[in-house]
Structure 1
Amino acid sequence: MEQVLKKEKHIQAKPIMKWAGGKTQMLGDIMPKIPQKYGKYIEPFIGGGALFFALSPDKAIIADSNPELINMYRQVADNVENVIAYLKKYKNTKEDFYEVRSLDWLKLKKEEAAARTIYLNKTCFNGLYRVNKKGQFNVPFGKYKAPNFCDEEALYAASEVLKKATITCGDYLSVLKEYVEPGDFIFLDPPYLPISEYSDFKRYTKEQFYEEDHVELAKEVKRLQELGCHVILTNSNHPLVHELYADYKIEVIQTKRYISCNGNKRKGEDIIVDILPKQKSMLKIVPKPLPEQVMKYPATRYMGSKSKLLPQIWAVASQFNFDAVVDLFSGSGIVGYMFKAQGKTVISNDYMAMSATFTKAMVENNRVILPLEEAKKLLIEKKESDHFVENTFQGLYYKDEENKLIDILRTNIAGIRDQYKKAIAMTALIRACTKKRPRGIFTYTGDRYNDGRNDLLKSLEQQFLEAVESINNAIFDNGCENKSKHGDAMEVKIKHPDLVYIDPPYYSPLSDNEYVRRYHFVEGLARDWKGVEIQENTVTKKFKSYPTPFSTRKGAADAFDKLFKKFSDSILIVSYSSNSQPTQDEMVALMSKYKEHVEVVPIDYTYSFGNQKHAKTNRNKVQEYLFVGFNGEDVWKKK
């Protein structure tokens, strides 16, 4: 009856032994790294089992080379009532302590031996477990006033968790080789370096764990990774650890050493090594010719445009069976347009109004064009404009007559009733203004970068009309109901898309990713400068950039984690650069929390203009990555 009552309270299991080097204080750093899905939980250096009890896994293998410790766990799992009955007989006196300590646990009933182990652990000095050369426990009495060596609630809660585990005694290598299978999660908390008389391992067993054993352990870790297991390993912040695990992500954290008598030595640095599984590639990336329709999308010099990567993106996406796709950071709109040309239902989204305008005109719009005769009429002043561009940006980017024409076009476009014709006209105006700017950006004034190219020689009127024709030529019906959204990717509401393509601003400490700073003028056109605050003190008359989490390393990592969680039911394809952060390993770790399979497809790529502060040329060779997250059932199965 008592055990049933404990179950009903849903007591969270916790360690039932005090343990030098226990991981309770590190759980906050370890838990976020745990994969969301895994086969079995395996911990071959179980010790106090802080992580095991915190996770309470349904399938687990826990082991240790200390037979007395393993007996204790087995008896708590199978005979907790008897263990508690024996514990109730003990008293916290010096005489009882030394009398119980003198007993040979191997000659006791297993339940009594387990109770003895717990009692001595909770009443001895500092919770140590140390044996002499004969294997006899020799830690002195702890002199604690009221140690709780019979915590019934904790023991019952631990028993429920332990019942679900296979508990075995043995060397870690033999345990791992017997039980590990691909997809398992393994937590390794070996004896810490440096090896000394105070080594944790010497406290718990007569065996030794030397530096060569750590080298052997590192080899085993590599085997586990290649087998397809996710491994997390802890150790001290020791040079050998960094050397052995240099290929993996290592995090250094500050910890306390409760076992030391010297208060000055109670601070330490531990490391957590996160070793992600190597998975056999399920994808065969073979670039395929794209539909001719894709080539009709108006060419753009938009920062970060993926026009050159379309064959690789489609080669990855075509491996999957999907109908609906979300282009979450649509940018120039070319990727969403490519998916539309492949017959997919497309939802394009971007926090930039100009990007949403592009996709409104050419992705959502299936049939409507802006006849050239109607476009020509937009160039004629019908009613007086507000002269906003003429007054605000005089002498900055365009000639006075060009500013006047922009105001005329703004005014006339605002009067267009058809949403798609309006989007086509505004897209054409944005395109014309961009083409009339040297380098196509607005981070400087004047025309000092004028290279004499043909686009700069054409009139703004000619650029506008050519853009209208180009956009009209790109409009087609793919038979699907596509949608263009203008919103924050972190907040946009989209129900369970089959596939999500993510191409966010790339964060790098050596460059900025402020699209608004580069395109504030044409973004202002798209918004008609509504809801923005122009910074009058700036030479370029830019407005404040939109807030984005991708402007810092931590912000970018947190944003990716939120997006991956939000779209965890979808196939994920993420474009990211080798010179950006989070790093490749960090990105894989984040995605692995939500997807069974994560593959990285590297693509050699050259950006069309310099975005590094210290770049000596205007062409920066980097490697573009496509991070692909999916579950086994997502892969296309050919009939």
Structure 2
Amino acid sequence: MLGDLLPKVPTSFGRYIEPFFGGGAMFFALQPENAVIADSNPELINMYREVADHVEDVIQCLKQYENTSEMFYAVRSQEWTTLPKAEAAARTIFLNRTCFNGLYRVNKQGQFNVPYGKYKNPKICDEDGLRAASVALQKVDILCGDYLLVLEHYAQPGDFIFLDPPYLPVSEYADFKRYTKEQFYEEDHIELSKMIMALHERGCYVILTNSNHPLVHELYAPFNIDVIQTKRHISCNGSTRKGEDVIVTIPPKQRTLIKLLPQPLPEQVSAYPPTRFMGSKSKLLSEIWSVASQFKVNTVVDLFSGSGIVGYMFKAQGKSVVSNDYMAMSATFTKAMIENNSVTLPLDKAKGLLIEHRESDHFVASTFKGLYYTDEENDLIDTLRTNIADIKDQYKHAIAMTALIRACIKKRPRGIFTYTGQRYNDGRKDLQKTLAQQFLEAVEAVNKAVFDNGQINRSKQGDAMDLRVEQVDLVYIDPPYYSPLSDNEYVRRYHFVEGLARDWKGVEIQQHTQTKKFKSYPTPFATRKGAADAFDHLFKKFANSILIVSYSSNSLPTQDEMVAIMAKYKQHVEVIPVDYKYSFGNQSDAKTHRNSVQEYLFVGY
């Protein structure tokens, strides 16, 4: 097939990658200087490594073999893993040259089981060919591994990838099987096509060979598919040795790259009260706006608002913002400072909230006694809860509750509720202030953050999967990040202040736990598959909007998987990496430094 393949090879490329190496015809024809060749067959990879590094030893071993049935079956019966590597490589070559039709086939136990070929004079030891192959192979990386892992790790924009996987069976050669003890089924070809789409998005040039099968045409319909006549060399029936192969050519996706040119933000953005909220994007606002500003948008949905800072930034840019989060505390923040355009809470009114006007239910004092705050502070929290509940104006209520939540977080070492007591008290200034001081300062801070951007903005509390909004220009998605190395349970960290926002209505406190936390909200982002399915659902739901997604390099789905999911609904998908360090790591072992990562901005348009 080289006569048909070579004209399709790009004239220039970065690295050559071939993860289904087999006989390596394309590689040896091109002999690239910078290449990765790989296969999942360890016996085959051992042969190429030994030819590359110890070709003379392989040649000497090959010279010991004779083309007889007795020697063939004696050598075939050997377990190659018990042999010296050079001898194992020679065995592979000998069996290939003398077996029937050069097949490589193994039984369920992984033992080579192709019969003797009965050829009169096969060339068992081609010294010149082996030495020439050794020279070519010494220049490249030779890997044994699954093609998905190889491509995920090595493929970069501008690389040329040649894929010659086990073919889909068609009637002419329906008993074809993969050349290892594994099978390569239709679902494997579908998985391969997803990887090829990701490579296309990544900017790689791909050539794929396969049988002329309907599924191939279905999977690669957007690309050029050439059908060519070929000869089969492994059919026992000469009349069936003709067939049709296809060559699929997948060029790198052409795109107008979105430029990451961080821009100064409006001064109003700095008025948003700072927070150490887990996952807050306060340090990425300039980059997010740099991307968003390249599109003409008037309406924005901040789907997982969290601290609320991104939605507030869009409000400061004059956009009409819908801010949504399932957590009541987040919805409280955005009610006070995003939906609210003009209402403030006068300081004298705020001071009045510190005074007991009617007896509280003492819920905090009795439920959380000795856990997070002093008895006096717990009593004050109960007083504030009671007085805030009596505020009729929805925005003044939100400001007061936001201030109470902020005060409780600031009076808590590390600002979280995953432990009890004061073990992390480092004596910082916030911890030395009284809770009343913190509350009044928070009221002032929230009041200063209130402004009118001339737009109607809304704060919603609900499941992002079910959010209903009219057609919106841009959707920003910053969901909980799934990683097998850490948890993404916001409720576990903030259950006390989330309880304040909900007044512990509709939650179930787990009385047996030391922290008196309540059960976390169900989220699809708790598992890898759940996260992938959730992204697919959201991308489909907002397929008519520009999508900007924040996600971390140490989270799953992977970058390529995310691109492949988004590419189902968006013509253009770009990935913008940003070096980023979170306010505090969320890994169990701080020595891993996994809080230093790359933050990806996935952009679909």
Normalised by the shorter chain, which TM-score bucket?
A: 0.5 to 0.7
Asked whether the 8 Å contact 2:356–2:383 carries over to 1, the reply is: yes
For 1:411 and 1:555, the matched residues in 2 are separated by: 40
Alignment match, 1:51: 215
Match for residue 227 of structure 2 among 42, 50, 64: 64
Match for residue 423 of structure 2 among 430, 445, 448: 448
For 1:480 and 1:569, the matched residues in 2 are separated by: 22
Alignment match, 1:299: 274
Asked whether the 8 Å contact 2:230–2:243 carries over to 1, the reply is: no
Task: Report the Cα offset of residue 568 of structure 1.
Answer: 0.8
Match for residue 366 of structure 1 among 326, 341, 363: 341
Aligned partner letter, 1:439: R
- Normalising by structure 1, we get a TM-score of 0.62
Alignment match, 2:380: 405
Task: Report the Cα offset of residue 61 of structure 1.
Answer: 5.4
Distance change in 2, residues 1:571/1:452 (3 Å): same
Alignment match, 1:457: 432
Distance change in 2, residues 1:60/1:503 (3 Å): closer
For 1:450 and 1:56, the matched residues in 2 are separated by: 59
Task: Report the Cα offset of residue 619 of structure 1.
Answer: 7.9
Task: Report the Cα offset of residue 32 of structure 1.
Answer: 7.0
Task: Report the Cα offset of residue 425 of structure 1.
Answer: 0.4
Asked whether the 8 Å contact 1:44–1:63 carries over to 2, the reply is: no
Alignment match, 1:356: 331
SS in 2 for 1:347: strand
**1:473 aligns to 2:445 (yes or no):** no
Alignment match, 1:319: 294
Q: What is the 5 A alignment of 1:538-577?
A: 538-577=513-552
Match for residue 582 of structure 2 among 604, 607, 612: 607
For 2:284 and 2:428, the matched residues in 1 are separated by: 25
Alignment match, 2:483: 508
Q: What is the 5 A alignment of 1:65-464?
A: 65-66=228-229, 132=238, 137=239, 204=243, 227-228=251-252, 277=253, 279-464=254-439
Distance change in 2, residues 1:560/1:320 (3 Å): same
Aligned partner letter, 2:243: Y
Deviations 1:211-259 (A, max 9, x none): xxxxxx9xxx9xx66x32xxxxxxxxxxxxxxxxxxxxxxxxxxxxxxx
- Normalising by structure 2, we get a TM-score of 0.65
For 2:415 and 2:568, the matched residues in 1 are separated by: 40
SS in 1 for 2:464: coil
Deviations 1:469-492 (A, max 9, x none): 000000000000000000011111
Range 525-534 or range 43-52, more displaced: 43-52
Alignment match, 2:18: none
Alignment match, 2:564: 589
Alignment match, 1:628: 603
Task: Report the Cα offset of residue 312 of structure 1.
Answer: 0.5
Distance change in 2, residues 1:560/1:129 (3 Å): same
Unaligned runs of 5+ in 2: 1-168, 177-183, 201-205
For 1:627 and 1:578, the matched residues in 2 are separated by: 11
Asked whether the 8 Å contact 1:501–1:573 carries over to 2, the reply is: yes
SS in 2 for 1:602: strand
Unaligned runs of 5+ in 1: 1-14, 70-127, 140-201, 210-216, 229-276, 631-639
SS in 2 for 1:66: strand
Task: Report the Cα offset of residue 620 of structure 1.
Answer: 2.6
Asked whether the 8 Å contact 2:273–2:445 carries over to 1, the reply is: yes
SS in 2 for 1:204: strand
The percentage of counterpart residues that share the same residue type is: 67
Asked whether the 8 Å contact 1:510–1:612 carries over to 2, the reply is: yes
Task: Report the Cα offset of residue 48 of structure 1.
Answer: 4.6
Asked whether the 8 Å contact 1:574–1:627 carries over to 2, the reply is: yes
Total equivalences in the alignment:
424
**1:525 aligns to 2:564 (yes or no):** no
Deviations 1:407-431 (A, max 9, x none): 0110111111110000000000000
Asked whether the 8 Å contact 1:503–1:574 carries over to 2, the reply is: yes
Q: How much is the aligned-residue C-alpha RMSD, in angstroms?
A: 3.1
Aligned partner letter, 2:494: Y
Distance change in 2, residues 1:28/1:449 (3 Å): same
Asked whether the 8 Å contact 1:23–1:51 carries over to 2, the reply is: no
Distance change in 2, residues 1:24/1:438 (3 Å): closer
For 2:385 and 2:356, the matched residues in 1 are separated by: 10
SS in 2 for 1:406: helix
Match for residue 458 of structure 2 among 470, 474, 483: 483
For 2:584 and 2:170, the matched residues in 1 are separated by: 61
Task: Report the Cα offset of residue 455 of structure 1.
Answer: 0.5
For 1:613 and 1:625, the matched residues in 2 are separated by: 23
SS in 1 for 2:211: coil
Deviations 1:595-616 (A, max 9, x none): 1111111111111112111222
Aligned partner letter, 1:339: F
**1:492 aligns to 2:467 (yes or no):** yes
